[in-house]
């Protein structure tokens, strides 16, 4: 793929897609962004994304407009979407009709585990592999940036707490590294018909993370397992829909027992350097 070919990025208002868009623009790629809301479109235009289509991915007239003249699609579905598999299948069909050559799917590390949104991504992967499109499947692990959701608690109370065991290990990846890898994949033809596991360089528990944060901040930070029932009750009170609560419940119970570990070699190879460590990320976060 050359930089002259048009790439459509779906779900473009989310943090993942925004990071990918930034690196695609840095490489000089021709991009079009698909978003649901006008305000998100206006914001992306201020960031330098000139070609933006607004509308629902399930609307066929919107997809026809979005796919016109497109050579490749980077499909990033909104997190834990209850119809993610159906949406991906619809997108794949639309791409075939429009004559799109290549489809890159933002999936998840270990899509085969018994967690709802992993299984939906697995179905999307199968549909893509069985289509006649040239495919690339990206399987990112858990983001380091999830720490930001509890950062005020870390700073104010010295507590690093997620709703799973403090001993569970995760191969945390920096979102910027994942986005760099994605930009490489989307602008280089050598990554066609590939499935890439994108895990971070270390398998870390909450206890490990707390020690790193404590060392960087030079103050005590302890790891705790936040009660899952309390977390879900707060989510329900805040208006989170039942299907999303159920997904969080199953996901965190899996994390409690198994964590989510992968291998960082592919990410290292794709970005051409060692992926950022959790310590480097904490230093970056603390400096803000």
CA separation for the pair 81, 218 (Å, rounded) = 40
Domain ranges, residue 91: 6-143+173-200+261-275
Would you say residue 216 lies in a domain? no
pLDDT for position 3:
53
Would you say residue 25 lies in a domain? yes
Given a contact cutoff of 8 angstroms between Cβ atoms, the answer to whether 95 and 67 are in contact is yes
Would you say residue 236 lies in a domain? no
CA separation for the pair 141, 121 (Å, rounded) = 13
pLDDT for position 58:
87
- Helix (H) / strand (E) containing 245: helix 242-258
pLDDT for position 38:
95
Measured CA angle at 180 (ends 99, 67), to 5 deg: 20
Would you say residue 119 lies in a domain? yes
Residue 196's closest CA among 126, 67, 108, 72? Answer: 108
0.85 cut: is pTM over it?
Answer: yes
pLDDT for position 1:
47
Would you say residue 184 lies in a domain? yes
> In total, how many domains does the chain have?
1
* Helix (H/G/I), strand (E/B), else coil: 150: coil
In Å, what is the CA distance from 264 to each residue of 52, 145, 199, 202, 224?
A: 34, 17, 5, 8, 26
What is the mean pLDDT, run by run of 10 residues, along the chain of 288 residues? Answer: 80 96 97 96 94 93 96 94 94 96 98 96 98 97 97 98 98 98 97 98 98 98 96 93 94 97 98 98 96
Would you say residue 120 lies in a domain? yes
Domain of residue 101, CATH code = 3.40.50.720
pLDDT for position 82:
92
Would you say residue 22 lies in a domain? yes
pLDDT for position 222:
98
Q: Which residues does 233 contact at the CB level (< 8 Å), separation at least 6? A: none
Would you say residue 223 lies in a domain? no
């Amino acid at each position: 793929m050359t930089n002259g070919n048009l790439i459509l990025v779906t779900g473009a208002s989310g943090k993942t897609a925004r990071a990918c868009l930034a690196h695609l623009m840095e490489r000089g790629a021709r991009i079009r962004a698909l978003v649901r809301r006008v305000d998100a479109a206006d914001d992306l235009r201020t960031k330098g994304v000139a070609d933006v289509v607004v509308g629902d991915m399930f609307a066929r007239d919107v997809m026809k407009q979005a796919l016109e003249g497109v050579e490749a699609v980077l499909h990033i579905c909104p997190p834990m979407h209850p119809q993610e598999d159906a949406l991906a299948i619809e997108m794949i069909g639309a791409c075939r009709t429009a004559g799109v050559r290549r489809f890159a799917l933002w999936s998840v590390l270990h899509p085969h585990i018994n967690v709802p949104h992993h299984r939906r991504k697995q179905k999307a992967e199968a549909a893509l592999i069985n289509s006649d499109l040239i495919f690339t499947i990206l399987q990112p692990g858990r983001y380091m940036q999830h720490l930001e959701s509890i950062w005020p608690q870390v700073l104010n109370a010295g507590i690093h707490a997620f709703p799973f065991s403090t001993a569970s290990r995760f191969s945390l990846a920096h979102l910027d590294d994942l986005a760099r890898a994605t930009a490489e994949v989307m602008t280089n033809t050598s990554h066609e018909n590939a499935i890439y596991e994108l895990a971070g360089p270390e398998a870390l528990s909450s206890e490990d993370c707390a020690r790193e944060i404590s060392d960087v901040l030079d103050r005590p930070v302890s790891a705790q397992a936040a009660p899952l029932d309390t977390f879900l009750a707060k989510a329900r009170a805040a208006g989170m829909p039942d299907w999303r609560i159920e997904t969080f419940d199953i996901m965190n119970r899996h994390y409690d027992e198994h964590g989510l570990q992968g291998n960082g070699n592919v990410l290292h190879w794709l970005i051409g350097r060692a992926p950022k460590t959790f310590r480097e990320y904490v230093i970056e976060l603390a400096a803000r």
